[in-house]
Structure formats: structure tokens, C-alpha cells
Amino acid sequence: MKTADNQGELWEVFIQSKPGQAFKHVGSIHAFDKDNAIENARDIYTRRNEGTGLWVVPSAEIIAVALNESDYFFEPATDKIYRHPTFYNLPKGLTHM
């Protein structure tokens, strides 16, 4: 099994679908440098006008939570239901809140 790679580094691709919107991750590509990466990302991920903005980030630079750690990593938020507006008791007839 070959593990060495002759395709260049891996890059993560983010597309902004419309001006003003947040960039969303869509996938990854291989490339040898920045220019190569942004062009490859364009050719692979935006053939149907998917976006007006494009970012590429070296995959090795992404810091991520490991899947098996995510339960306890996000646990502090799970029991705080009072952060949601539906938690509150409000009088009948209340509007515009």
C-alpha cells in the first residue's frame, strides 16, 4: 500500500455562496502551492457558479476536535436550556418579543 503522496499537499475548500454570507466548508483538494490550490478548488468545486467567494486553507493548519472527544468537549453547553428563548414563562397575549 502506498502512503507517500505525489499529489501535493491537501487543502480544505470553503465557498461563500453569496456576497455577505459566511464561508462554508465544501471539501478538499490536492495542490502544490497557493495559486495551484485556489485554481484547483475553482475547477473542482465551482463549476456551476456555486459561489462568489473562495478560500483554501492547508489541511494541516486546521485544528479540530477529535470525534471521540466531542461529547465531553461540548458537554458544558448541554444542560443550559435557559440560553434558549423558549425556556421562559411569559404572560398570554405578549407580542413582538
Partner 1 sequence: MTTKPIPAQTVQLLSEFEEKINAEIKIEPSDWMPDAYRQHLIRQISQHAHSEVIGMQPEANWISRAPSLRSKKILLAKIQDEGGHGLYLYGAAETLGVSREQYIEWLHQGKAKYASVFNYPALNWADIGAIGWLVDGAAIVNQVSLQRTSYGPYARAMVRICKEESFHQRQGYEIMWRMMQGTTDQQRMAQDAINRWWWPALMMFGPHDKDSPRTSNALLWKIKRETNDALREKFLNKTVPQAELIGLQVPDPDLKKISDENYTHGEINWEEFNQVINGNGPCNQERLEHHIRAHREGEWVREAAFNSDLKKQ
Shortest spacing between CB 78 and partner 1, in angstroms = 13
Shortest spacing between CB 60 and partner 1, in angstroms = 16
**Closer of 5 and 35 to partner 1 (Cβ):** 35
**Closer of 2 and 80 to partner 1 (Cβ):** 80
The rounded Cα 89 to chain-centroid distance in angstroms is 36
Alpha-carbon distance of 28 to 55, in angstroms, equals 11
Dihedral of CA 32/37/41/42: which sign? negative
All three cell numbers of 72: 465531553
Asked if 20 touches partner 1 (CB under 8 A), the answer is yes
Subset of 31-70 contacting partner 1 (CB under 8 A):
53
Cβ atoms of 46 and 56 closer than 8 Å? no
The residues of the shown chain that bind partner 1, judged by CB under 8 A, are 19-22, 53, 80, 82-85, 87-91, 93-97
